[in-house]
Each structure stands twice: as structure tokens, then as C-alpha cells.
């Protein structure tokens, strides 16, 4: 596990006197903030309610007797900037995947390499010949957009007009002003190709391609801008490795990190600063408090009405005795090497949205699957690895929290079965024959609905980004008057800043919420 599990850590030891900064929550963003601020000489106290640090960035062994250290929640890394890793001196390897994605179609499939070569070309030629050139053109246009935005992420928010002036005008219109469905439909023709592009717009929101609110566009942008390439990489050793490294550098810099420390109330002090009150009644005041929890949690702590967001992804973690064979005959070591798209055609995604909005579990359920251990076998114990076992993650789209509210356990089982059925639909043999079993003889299948994510991580509604994402720039008509506003981490209280996923550029495993809050504190909260 990342961080410490000592039961005495939070409760028994006295809290340090007169910290400069108190941080609520110990997710990866909060740890990034703690590290930067402690390095700059600030006395930092971080209070995490769980028995470990990392929040959604964690590894664990959910199956008794099975030595597989799974990235139980978040699993791939793209948005975390390379300069942030270097500045903090994190000992972290992010491995590229040989294959970007595989989409089974009929009795074949679309296999896209990370560096498109002859396999990608042959695949397009067989399944979507008209789209090959158009796909490459769209990818190039998106990369050029990403290369403008990515370098701004660790700076104060750029102006929308500045970004707009540096990107292709048509792409600005299509990405930022029109629903993403228009861009996808005008760019590529094949249903599978459109669908696999659209998934980037849906992982992290409940929307359809033509939603006028453009939530899906913002979600899409975050999926394609990471480090200017949009490549999603595998954290070697699992997600817990990132959390452990952040704990290491924050502590080395002098930050005081506490687990088992739940903040139950927060109030802004009349003379400036804020006071956090733990559930056990202890209080801690500081000139600045950073909230690494979700904005809706912060509202509750402040005694204000909260408007919780709604998450809509269900995570299924599996351990397999071996990888199953595909109906298409593709080598499983290739078909499972990238992101495997299941029932994610464009039309299916549209129908699934409508089904879920009407209160039904989509059938068939759009799912994407990813095998960590093919790229990084280090998360498996020696025996398990030698036996040919693998891990597999399924991420089911369009399963909003509202589907689960009446019967959480029953719906969890139903959605879990639907996700497995989605995978089974492309296999040439029963998945059940390939599932590993734990020491009690139970199949290694862990299903987490948005309600389960909320219960485990205190993420309201199970929303994986703490709420819908924001554009990573400042609208032209806004005049920021504080450092917090310039960095996109402001709240209604000048001495309480967001440092988590809910800040303007905080979404995903990026550390940006933490970095940008730390920079705002160091720059000073005054104009
Ligand atoms: C299932 C799932 C899969 C995901 N997959 C990916 C992925 O593959 N790639 C990606 O980039 N992103 C992914 N995400 C999103 C990403 O993980 C999050 O956006 C990010 O990790 C949030 O980090 P954070 O530090 O801002 O907050 P969190 O990780 O939510 O951490 C907040 C912490 O605050 C603590 N806390 C809350 N309230 C209190 C309180 N009152 N007192 C004390 N402590 C408190 C919580 O216990 C928690 O540890 C996924 C998320 C989920 C849930």
C-alpha cells in the first residue's frame, strides 16, 4: 500500500502548532501541494481521513490469497506533466504500450499501434479504408492543439483569446464551441472509428456526443492533451507507486502527513485564515487551508448547501489465470495490449446513453478493457506471473449513479454481469474458464459502482473528476484579482483554496490541482 497504515498515526499524536498551510485530504494532488509548499519552507500539515494516502491513486490486493497489486481505481497516466515529475524528483517510470487500441468489429477488428505503422495501415485497409487518411489528419490537428495547451498547464491560466490565437481556427470552433459529435461526424465515417474517438469524451462524464453543454468536449480535450501527445501510459509498479513517491518527497521536504484524520468542519476566520476541526474535536488554524477533497465535500465542511455531481463509470477489476482467446483469432497478447473497446460503436454509445437516461442498464454495455500486466508484470507476485496470470480492468461507461440508488447491491451485480457479458461477446471461450479464484474459491472479480467509489474515496456521486471538467483557460471577460483566481484554485473564501481534481485544471491523475494551488499560495493570495 502507499503511505502508512499505522493506526496511531492520525489520532494519537498531537497536531503541530501554527502550521502555515493545512491541507484537507491526502489524494495525489494534496501530496503534490504538500511537497511543493514544504520545499518552499512552509510548515505544512496534511490531514487524510483514510488509512492510506493517494485517494484514487492507489494500489491494493482486493482478492484474498492472490498476489496481484492492482491499480484499483485510476489506472493509466497521461496528464501528469513530465516537468512536474522532474521538479519533484519522483522515481516513477511510465511505460508506453505497444498497441494504442483494439476494437473488434465483426470477424475482424481495428488494431491501432501507438506509433502507426504497417499493422495500423492494414487494419484500416481491411475495416475502414476511407477513414485512414482522415483519422491521421484528425490526430495531427488534435496534437497541434494539445501542443499549444499542454505547456500552459503549470502556469497561471492563459486567456482564452491567447490560446485561440495560437490554434487552428476551425479546430477551436469544433472543439470549444460546437458539440464534439459534429467534429467526429465530419472527420470520420466509420461507426467503430467514430465510437472509439467518442469514448475519450465520455470517460468522466454522462453526456451524449451532441450535448449542448459541451461537457463531453472538455472531457475529450483532457484525454488528448497530456504532455502534448495525449499518450496514456502505464505506471510501472501500479498507481500506488506514484502515491508512495509523492509521500516520500513530501515527507523528505518536511511536510507532516497524517492518516486517520477526518476533517468534519471548516470555517473561515473573521481576521483571516481558516480553522479545520477534526471529527475528534481537535482544531487546527492556519493562514491558508487547501481543500484536496471535492468541491461538494468542501461545501459540506463549510456548512453550505452542496450540489454533488454524478459519476457514471463502473470499474471492474479482474485477475485471470490466463488471457482468453478472441473470436477474431487475434493473439490475446496483442488484442489486450492496448485499450480494448467493447460495444463502443458510435451508434451504440448514443443508444446506451438513452437507455441509461431512462433508468436502464445499457445492453450491450459499452466497456473498455485494459491489461496492466502485459506492459508491466511487476504488479504480479513471482508465482502468479510464472503461471501466466494477468490482471484486467474493465471500465463501463454510461452507468450513472442514479441507476444504483434504489438497489445498490443488486444493480452492482447486474452491471458487473453486463460488463463481463460485454467482454464475453468478443471471446472464443468462456471467460469463466479463465478467471482466477481467491483463497476462498471465489472468482477474482471486484465491481465498483459510482456509489462504491463515493463510499471508498469520499468522491461525491462517484464522479471520477470531483465534477465536470472546466476549460483549461480563463474566459476573456473575467478579471482575476487574486493569485488563486489566476491559478484556477479560488473558492468564495480568499484563504481557502482548492488543490484537488475540482480545481480548474485539476481533473485526472495530473498533480495539476496540487501544483497550481501551491503556486498560488507562494505567489500570495493578494492581488
Ligand atoms: C475508478 C476511477 C478510475 C479512474 N481512472 C483514471 C485514469 O486511469 N487516469 C486518470 O488520469 N484519471 C483517472 N481517474 C480520475 C483520477 O483518479 C482523479 O481525478 C484523481 O486521482 C483525483 O485526485 P485528487 O488528489 O484530486 O483527489 P482524490 O483522489 O479524490 O483524493 C481526495 C482525498 O481526500 C480525502 N478526504 C476527503 N474528504 C476528507 C475529509 N473531510 N477529511 C480528510 N480527508 C478527506 C479522501 O479520503 C481522499 O484520499 C479515475 C478515477 C476513478 C475513481
pLDDT, one tens digit per residue, over 309-331 is 999 999 999 999 999 999 999 99
- Say which range, 7-21, 295-309, 430-444, has the weakest mean pLDDT: 7-21
What separation in Å is there between the alpha carbon of 283 and the centre of ligand 1?
25
The pick from 233, 292, 313, 518 for probing ligand 1's pocket by mutation, whose C-beta has the most ligand atoms within 8 angstroms, reads 292
Phi, psi of 516 (to 5 degrees): -70, -35
DSSP 117-157: -HHHHHHHHHH-GGGHHHHHHHHHHHHHHHHHHGGGTTSSP
* Helix/strand/coil for 16: coil
pLDDT tens profile 45-95: 999 999 999 999 999 999 999 999 999 999 999 999 999 999 999 999 999
Residues facing 159 on adjacent strands: 474
DSSP 426-452: TBSS-GGGTB-B-TTS-B-EEEE-HHH
Cα(245)–Cα(340) distance, integer angstroms? 29
Ligand 1 binding site (Cβ under 6 Å of any ligand atom): 24-30, 47-50, 55-57, 73-76, 79, 262-263, 292-293, 297, 315, 453, 457-459, 464-465, 500-501, 506-509, 513
Cα(25)–Cα(344) distance, integer angstroms? 35
* pLDDT on residue 10: 54
Q: How confident is the model at residue 8 (pLDDT cuts 50, 70, 90)?
A: very low
pLDDT over 70 at 398, yes or no: yes
The CA–CA distances, whole Å, from 128 to 121, 312, 340, 354 equal 10, 30, 17, 27
**What angle separates helix 215-224 from helix 191-202, to the nearest 10 degrees?**
90
C-beta separation of 96 from 89 below 8 A:
no
Ligand 1 atom nearest to 507, measured from its CA: 19
Cα(296)–Cα(308) distance, integer angstroms? 5
pLDDT tens profile 90-110: 999 999 999 999 999 888 999
What separation in Å is there between the alpha carbon of 27 and the centre of ligand 1?
6
What separation in Å is there between the alpha carbon of 191 and the centre of ligand 1?
33
Cα(295)–Cα(273) distance, integer angstroms? 18
Is the bond preceding residue 367 a cis peptide, omega within 30 degrees?
no
**What angle separates helix 180-187 from helix 215-224, to the nearest 10 degrees?**
60
Q: How confident is the model at residue 13 (pLDDT cuts 50, 70, 90)?
A: confident
What separation in Å is there between the alpha carbon of 215 and the centre of ligand 1?
19
pLDDT tens profile 238-251: 999 999 999 999 99
The pick from 46, 48, 56, 71 for probing ligand 1's pocket by mutation, whose C-beta has the most ligand atoms within 8 angstroms, reads 56
Q: Which pairs count as long-range contacts for 343-346, CB under 8 Å and 24+ apart, including other chains?
A: 343/367, 343/422, 343/425, 344/103, 344/195, 344/196, 344/198, 344/199, 344/368, 344/397, 345/191, 345/192, 345/194, 345/195, 346/184, 346/191, 346/192, 346/194, 346/195, 346/198, 346/209
pLDDT tens profile 146-187: 999 999 999 999 999 999 999 999 999 999 999 999 999 999
The pick from 94, 260, 284, 293 for probing ligand 1's pocket by mutation, whose C-beta has the most ligand atoms within 8 angstroms, reads 293
Ligand 1 atom nearest to 297, measured from its CA: 38
What separation in Å is there between the alpha carbon of 453 and the centre of ligand 1?
9
Q: Give, using CA atoms, the residue closest to atom 36 of ligand 1.
A: 25
What separation in Å is there between the alpha carbon of 39 and the centre of ligand 1?
23
Average pLDDT over residues 17-39: 97
Q: Give, using CA atoms, the residue closest to atom 14 of ligand 1.
A: 74
Say which residue, 526 or 419, is predicted with more confidence.
Answer: 419
Radius of gyration from C-alpha coordinates of the chain? 23
C-beta separation of 195 from 364 below 8 A:
no
* pLDDT on residue 7: 34
pLDDT tens profile 262-304: 999 999 999 999 999 999 999 999 999 999 999 999 999 999 9
* pLDDT on residue 15: 84
What are the residue ranges of helices labelled H in 167-227? 169-172, 180-187, 191-202, 215-224
What separation in Å is there between the alpha carbon of 56 and the centre of ligand 1?
4
pLDDT over 50 at 2, yes or no: no
The pick from 25, 46, 77 for probing ligand 1's pocket by mutation, whose C-beta has the most ligand atoms within 8 angstroms, reads 25
* pLDDT on residue 3: 39
What separation in Å is there between the alpha carbon of 495 and the centre of ligand 1?
23
* Helix/strand/coil for 43: coil
Q: In what order do the strands lie in the sheet with 367-370?
A: 108-113, 99-105, 339-342, 367-370, 390-396, 314-320, 445-448
Q: What is the mean pLDDT of the chain?
A: 95
Ligand 1 atom nearest to 313, measured from its CA: 1
pLDDT over 70 at 6, yes or no: no
Average pLDDT over residues 118-124: 95
Residues facing 445 on adjacent strands: 318
The pick from 55, 396, 462 for probing ligand 1's pocket by mutation, whose C-beta has the most ligand atoms within 8 angstroms, reads 55
Q: Give, using CA atoms, the residue closest to atom 31 of ligand 1.
A: 27
C-beta separation of 417 from 443 below 8 A:
no
Looking up cell 476533517 gives 263
* pLDDT on residue 72: 97
pLDDT tens profile 218-232: 999 999 999 999 999
Cα(84)–Cα(387) distance, integer angstroms? 38
What separation in Å is there between the alpha carbon of 289 and the centre of ligand 1?
18
Instruction: For the chain, report the end-to-end CA distance as a whole number of angstroms.
Output: 42
Q: How confident is the model at residue 11 (pLDDT cuts 50, 70, 90)?
A: low
Q: Give, using CA atoms, the residue closest to atom 16 of ligand 1.
A: 508
* Helix/strand/coil for 192: helix
Closest Cα to residue 283, out of 54, 38, 19? 19
Q: What percent of the chain has pLDDT over 70?
A: 97
Cα(1)–Cα(494) distance, integer angstroms? 35
Cα(132)–Cα(143) distance, integer angstroms? 17
What separation in Å is there between the alpha carbon of 425 and the centre of ligand 1?
32
C-alpha cell at 19: 502550521
Query: Could you say which DSSP state residue 48 is in?
Result: -
Q: Give, using CA atoms, the residue closest to atom 50 of ligand 1.
A: 74
**Number of neighbouring beta carbons within 10 Å of residue 206:** 26
What separation in Å is there between the alpha carbon of 77 and the centre of ligand 1?
13
Closest Cα to residue 376, out of 359, 393, 360, 363? 393
What separation in Å is there between the alpha carbon of 508 and the centre of ligand 1?
8
What are the residue ranges of helices labelled H in 358-446? 372-375, 382-386, 408-424
pLDDT over 60 at 143, yes or no: yes
The pick from 51, 299, 339, 509 for probing ligand 1's pocket by mutation, whose C-beta has the most ligand atoms within 8 angstroms, reads 509
Q: Give, using CA atoms, the residue closest to atom 35 of ligand 1.
A: 25
Ligand 1 atom nearest to 448, measured from its CA: 1
C-beta separation of 286 from 33 below 8 A:
no
Amino acid at each position: 500500500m502507499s503511505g502508512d497504515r499505522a493506526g496511531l498515526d492520525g489520532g494519537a499524536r498531537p497536531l503541530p502548532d501554527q502550521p502555515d498551510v493545512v491541507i484537507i485530504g491526502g489524494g495525489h494532488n494534496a501530496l503534490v501541494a504538500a511537497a511543493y509548499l514544504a520545499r518552499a519552507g512552509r510548515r505544512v500539515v496534511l490531514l487524510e481521513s483514510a488509512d492510506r494516502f493517494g485517494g484514487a491513486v492507489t494500489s491494493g490486493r482486493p482478492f484474498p490469497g492472490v498476489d496481484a497489486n492492482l491499480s484499483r481505481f485510476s489506472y493509466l497516466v497521461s496528464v501528469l506533466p513530465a516537468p512536474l515529475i522532474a521538479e519533484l524528483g519522483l522515481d516513477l517510470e511510465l511505460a508506453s504500450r505497444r498497441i494504442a487500441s483494439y476494437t473488434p468489429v465483426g470477424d475482424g477488428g481495428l488494431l491501432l499501434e501507438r506509433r502507426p505503422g504497417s499493422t495500423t495501415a492494414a487494419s484500416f485497409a481491411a475495416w475502414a479504408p476511407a477513414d485512414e487518411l482522415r483519422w491521421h489528419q484528425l490526430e495531427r490537428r488534435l496534437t497541434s492543439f494539445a501542443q499549444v495547451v499542454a505547456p500552459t498547464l503549470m502556469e497561471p491560466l492563459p486567456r482564452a483569446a491567447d490560446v485561440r490565437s495560437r490554434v487552428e481556427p476551425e479546430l477551436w470552433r469544433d472543439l470549444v464551441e460546437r458539440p464534439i459529435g459534429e467534429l467526429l461526424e465530419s472527420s470520420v465515417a466509420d461507426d467503430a472509428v467514430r465510437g472509439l474517438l467518442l469514448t475519450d469524451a465520455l470517460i468522466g462524464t454522462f453526456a451524449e456526443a451532441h450535448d449542448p453543454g459541451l461537457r463531453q468536449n472538455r472531457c475529450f480535450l483532457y484525454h488528448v492533451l497530456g504532455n502534448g501527445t495525449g499518450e496514456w501510459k502505464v505506471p510501472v509498479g501500479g498507481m500506488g507507486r506514484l502515491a508512495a513517491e509523492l509521500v516520500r518527497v513530501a515527507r523528505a521536504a518536511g511536510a507532516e502527513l497524517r492518516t486517520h484524520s477526518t476533517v468534519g468542519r471548516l470555517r473561515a476566520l473573521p481576521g483571516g485564515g481558516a480553522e479545520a476541526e477534526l471529527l475528534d474535536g481537535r482544531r487546527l488554524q492556519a493562514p491558508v487551508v487547501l481543500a484536496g477533497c471535492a468541491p461538494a465535500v468542501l461545501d459540506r465542511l463549510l456548512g453550505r448547501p452542496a450540489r454533488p455531481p454524478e459519476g457514471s463509470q463502473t470499474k471492474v477489476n479482474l485477475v485471470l489465470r490466463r488471457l482468453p482467446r478472441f473470436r477474431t483469432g487475434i493473439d490475446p497478447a496483442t488484442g489486450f495490449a492496448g485499450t480494448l473497446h467493447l460495444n463502443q460503436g458510435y451508434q451504440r454509445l448514443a443508444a446506451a446513453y438513452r437507455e441509461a437516461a431512462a433508468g436502464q442498464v445499457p445492453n450491450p454495455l459499452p466497456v473498455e478493457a485494459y491489461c496492466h500486466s502485459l506492459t508491466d508484470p511487476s504488479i504480479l507476485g513471482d508465482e502468479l506471473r510464472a503461471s501466466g496470470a494477468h490482471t484486467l480492468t474493465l471500465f463501463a461507461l454510461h452507468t450513472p449513479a442514479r441507476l444504483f440508488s434504489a438497489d445498490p447491491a443488486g444493480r452492482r451485480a447486474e452491471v458487473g454481469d453486463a460488463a463481463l457479458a460485454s467482454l464475453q461477446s468478443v471471446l472464443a471461450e468462456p471467460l469463466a474458464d479463465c478467471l482466477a479464484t481467491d483463497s476462498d474459491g471465489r472468482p477474482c472479480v471486484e465491481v465498483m459502482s459510482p456509489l462504491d467509489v463515493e463510499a471508498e474515496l469520499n468522491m461525491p456521486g462517484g464522479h471520477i473528476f470531483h465534477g465536470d471538467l472546466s476549460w483549461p483557460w480563463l474566459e476573456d471577460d473575467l478579471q482575476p484579482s487574486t493569485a488563486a483566481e489566476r491559478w484556477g484554485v479560488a473558492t468564495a473564501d480568499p484563504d481557502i483554496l482548492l488543490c484537488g481534481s475540482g480545481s480548474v485544471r485539476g481533473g485526472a491523475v495530473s498533480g495539476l490541482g496540487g501544483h497550481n494551488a501551491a503556486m498560488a499560495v507562494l505567489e500570495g493570495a493578494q492581488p
